[in-house]
Structure 1
Amino acid sequence: KDFARVKDVVEILGVKTSSVISALKKLSKNGLVDYEKYSYIKLTQAGLMQASLLFEKHNSLKTFLEEVLYIESSKAGELAHGLEHHLNQELLTKMEAVTRFFAENPELLKKMQTYVDDYEKDSQGTLDKQKSGKVYRVEAVRGDPELKRRLLSMGVLPGTEISLEAIAPLGDPIEIKVRGYRLSLRKEEARAVVVESI
């Protein structure tokens, strides 16, 4: 429509009206939008240019996730949205080059995807799939940064021995003993811990 209203932005992003107004004031101050209280929001020429760059970055990243890492489309869109604000131009250019390389060399893409599939199968030894009463060594801790930080802070570190004490009937929670302490992990947390039986 070439314009938006504050309520449109609130609905689409699922944020508070006050947050939108605060952001619009900053964008207006930086010359990216024309906005006055109770009026329509319109991009300036500079804002349109910035929006186009962000849109291109999002699409490049989404294409890389879908076509190179073959992540399902809706998930790739979500991931791209979270990652796009943290990518610099150098990394984005290299990802675009990798996407193009594999588009021009489909046999190599297939080979790489087979390798990734095999790697994922080999690393299926996560704590949530193990049996109670056994001892394991932590090989790696995966997952999003917050989950990883939480597990590491509890002492679930690579190289550490873990005794799997008990598993609830539905697999959640999982009781472990690590460094002399008993801990209760949710299934999601246990799924992030790659272990090897010892």
Structure 2
Amino acid sequence: MVKSMQLSASLEDYLETIFVVVSEKGGVRAKDIAVRLGVKAGSVTGALQALSQKKLINYAPYEAITMTTEGLKKARQIKRRHEVLKEFFIDVLGVEEEIAEKGACKLEHDIPKVIFERLTEFVESIKKDRIMTHSKNEVTLAEMKPKQKGTVLKMNHRGTVTKRLADMGIGSGALIEVERVAPLGDPIDIKVRGYHLSLRKEEAAAIILSAV
């Protein structure tokens, strides 16, 4: 029998971290989570067991951790709350990224559903205005140079590629900064929503940005 899906703030943090690391690296182990959250291995083990009991992850000692369908769904909801709050703090309130990140981490667990829905609508409207304002400066991510930034206008990928990029926080309205481009242009290291990611050149070429 599946236990209650109500999660504590701590377990939500663990589930979100698992999701993020899997999106970045393609897999995750307990030590990766301990390093990312700055906690002891014993604490991670207890959290993984609890998430496994709730059927949100597949966990066995010394094996790679995978997420269940329900776990992915729950993690995306948590991550989405975090992203919307962080975007609101940065784009609307003008808060510095580091402070916005900490604020989003604290509030993402307790924000009432109706307030989150209204906040999401507001943030999305700002994204649309931003896209309309900058649509004349279109450029692909593959054409950008280190330290350049751009707002995502659209993505010309299909199927699983679009889904994978969305899981990493790359979607319409997202602000991307190019950090490094390999000598032959592949891969391209970027920063988006506070995360550091690497994309293949062909993936970057299908992401259309408005340079800022």
**TM-score, length basis structure 1:** 0.49
- Which of 1 and 2 has higher RCO (CA within 8 Å, sep 6+)? 2
**TM-score, length basis structure 2:** 0.46
Structure with max Cα Rg:
1
